[in-house]
A and B are shown apart, each in its own frame.
Chain A
Amino acid sequence: MEYGSIERDIHVEASPEVVFEVVSRPEHMREWWPDDARFEAVAGAPGELVWRDGESGETTTVALAVVEVVPPKRFSFRWCFSEPDRGGDSLLVTFDLVPDGEGTRVRMTETGFREMGWEVAVLEEQYREHASAWEHYVPALGTYVARLVSAS
């Protein structure tokens, strides 16, 4: 298992073919993520995700690059490039679709946090190494700080 990644599983009561369309077509993607999405679902194709500020109307455009298109099994793309023209480090988002009963198990993986910065990567490592949930850390943090304050 790679550290510095985020993984999420969800069961969808729809066929892999339908789920594949929803995750890989721009007209569907803008219903579940950005305000607008422009790309061709073709390996290597460049694209853009657009967010529009509701009040000012200003838009933010983020570059995307399609990596893999394997209907109805896998769709992946890169975004959050550190350099212009889709260069440097980036985050890789992969959707893996597996038939699950009458529906589909969707596994989303986002990797590249280790390259983008240490904070999320290290926390993910900590998260996996300790059986305890994150809820434990925050209260512990409170008592730790309280002790520091009372000791000073």
Chain B
Amino acid sequence: MIDLLLAGGPGTATSLSERLPVTRQAVSKHLAVLDRVGLVHSAPAGRERRYHVDEAQLARAAAQLAAVGATWDARLRRIKRIAEAIERDRDNNQDRGNNQGG
């Protein structure tokens, strides 16, 4: 939906639902959620409301989400590296032990 608002410019629940595989009611409900949290703003347009994206809020939220995800990616890569190094050490020690025994 945000895609459509960005690509096609401001729209109403009716104009958006014509381009989405969902009902006007569903679009309307979703727009209300986006409006409440500040990602879109609206103005009266006849019997409906016309919505447009708050591009500054969208960019800020996108950056925030990307940053959180990226930091976890880096932490998990380090967890992988450390665990695999420990595993290799243990395997090597075990091999040595077996050789000494035989």
Contacts and interface: CB of A to CB of B under 8 A. Distances in A.
Interface of A: 6, 8, 10-15, 18-19, 21-23, 28, 31-33, 104, 106, 108, 110, 113, 118-120, 122-124, 126-127, 129-130, 132, 134, 136-138, 140-141, 143-145, 147
11 contacts: A14-B86, A18-B90, A19-B83, A21-B86, A110-B68, A119-B65, A123-B65, A129-B1, A137-B62, A141-B55, A144-B53
A46 B90 CA distance: 31
| B interface majority secondary structure | helix
Interface of B: 1-3, 6-7, 9, 33-34, 37-39, 53, 55, 57-62, 64-66, 68-69, 72-73, 75-80, 82-84, 86-87, 90
Given A119-B57, A119-B64, A18 B75 contact: no
Contacts of A124: 65
A120 B65 contact: yes
A111 to B, nearest CB: 12
Given A22-B82, A122-B33, 10 more contacts: A6-B68, A14-B83, A15-B87, A18-B87, A32-B75, A110-B68, A122-B61, A136-B3, A144-B55, A145-B55
